[in-house]
């Protein structure tokens, strides 16, 4: 029997972009996901991503058994908030280049929102005015391949982003992930937490891209407060799950197998 994984994507990257990662986890794991977080009108983006966490929990509740939660960037934070609120829905959580924010981080974010400089400390400022339309997939691929964010993508993952990150418009193609929603997600990054790290009831792993500027040393130190937390890194930057999908899948398999063995020993 395959074990269920619920995957949550990074902001702006529809889940199907990660198809090569999902394929590398089959057949032992069945990967479930929402195609795009934040696009259901029943769960609009709001302060501290509370509705996005509600949206995730809503879908996790439909699983017949606890799941492995895996999230990249935005998705890892959503799983962290959800597991603190509803630990019974989880077997464990892996955060792929997603930080667990410290008290100092949250104070800075709250001040940034209050005094109007949140766009300077999140990617929101870089997202404003970004190109949204393309004549065809060839033009789109050439454009993205020239951007630093995409430069180290696995070629199949870049193709998947062009296929699943764009949709047919009146003239050519447009970004499928609504840019206004993407910016709103950045601007509402949480400055609160639904619980304390010490309360985490399942295993958690934070995996950093070796050259990432998102997960920093002080985020890893916060893991010491968690009963069953560990820290790993893989080659690449913030987008390493789409740069090194096979390596990412191998690490996930290693973590889940070891956590399963530990649960059997305790039982």
* Whole-number Å distance between alpha carbons of 244 and 122: 24
| Whether the predicted pLDDT of 71 surpasses 70 | yes
Amino acid 8: pLDDT: 99
Q: Give me the percent of the chain exceeding a pLDDT of 90.
A: 93
Distance, in Å, from the CA atom of 116 to the CA atom of 139, rounded to the nearest integer, reads: 36
| Cβ neighbours for 80, distance < 8 A, ≥ 6 positions apart | 71, 93, 95, 98, 100, 204
pLDDT tens digits for 6-19?
999 999 999 999 99
Q: Residue 208: what pLDDT?
A: 97
Question: What is the end-to-end Cα distance of the chain in Å, rounded?
Answer: 20
Q: Is 83 helix (H, G, I), strand (E, B) or coil?
A: helix
CATH of the domain at 197: 3.40.50.1820
Structural domain including 131 reads 3-266
pLDDT in tens, 121-175: 999 988 887 899 999 999 999 999 999 999 999 999 999 999 999 999 988 999 9
* CA dist., res. 242 & res. 19, Å (int): 9
Average pLDDT, the chain: 95
CB-based contact 34:59 (threshold 8 Å): yes
Which DSSP symbol is given to 191?
S
Contact assessment for residue 14 and residue 177, using Cβ atoms and an 8 Å cutoff: yes
CB-based contacts of 227: which residues, under 8 Å, 6+ apart?
198, 200, 201
Given the structure tokens 């966490």, which residue do they identify?
53
The predicted structure's pLDDT at residue 267: 59
Structure tokens at 27: 């057949």
Count the domains in the chain. Answer: 1
Q: How far apart are CA 12 and CA 36, in angstroms?
A: 8
More confident residue, 43 or 222: 43
Q: How far apart are CA 148 and CA 155, in angstroms?
A: 14
pLDDT of 177 > 80? The answer is yes
Average of pLDDT values for 223-252? Answer: 97
Structure tokens at 168: 């047919």
pTM > 0.85: yes
């Amino acid at each position: 029997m395959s074990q269920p994984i619920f995957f949550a994507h990074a902001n702006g990257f529809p889940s199907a972009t990660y198809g090569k990662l999902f394929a590398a986890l089959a057949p032992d794991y069945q990967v479930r996901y929402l195609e795009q977080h934040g696009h259901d009108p029943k769960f609009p983006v709001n302060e501290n991503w509370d509705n996005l966490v509600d949206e995730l929990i809503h879908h996790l509740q439909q699983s017949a058994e606890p799941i492995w939660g895996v999230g990249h960037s935005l998705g890892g934070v959503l799983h962290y908030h959800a597991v603190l609120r509803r630990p019974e829905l989880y077997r464990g959580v892996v955060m792929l280049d997603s930080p667990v924010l410290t008290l100092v981080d949250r104070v800075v974010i709250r001040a940034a929102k209050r005094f109007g400089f949140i766009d300077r400390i999140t990617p929101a400022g870089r997202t404003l005015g970004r190109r949204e339309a393309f004549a065809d997939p060839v033009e789109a691929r050439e454009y993205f391949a020239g951007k630093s964010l995409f430069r180290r993508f696995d070629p199949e993952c870049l193709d998947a982003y062009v296929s699943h990150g764009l949709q047919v418009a009146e003239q050519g193609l447009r970004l499928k992930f609504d840019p206004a929603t993407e910016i709103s997600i950045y601007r509402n990054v949480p400055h609160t937490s639904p619980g304390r790290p010490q309360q985490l009831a399942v295993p958690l792993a934070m995996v950093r891209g070796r050259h990432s500027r998102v997960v920093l040393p002080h985020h890893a130190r916060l893991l010491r407060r968690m009963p069953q937390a560990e820290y790993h890194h893989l080659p690449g930057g913030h987008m390493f799950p789409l740069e090194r999908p096979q390596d990412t899948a191998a690490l996930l398999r290693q973590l889940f197998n070891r956590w399963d063995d530990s649960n059997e020993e305790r039982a």
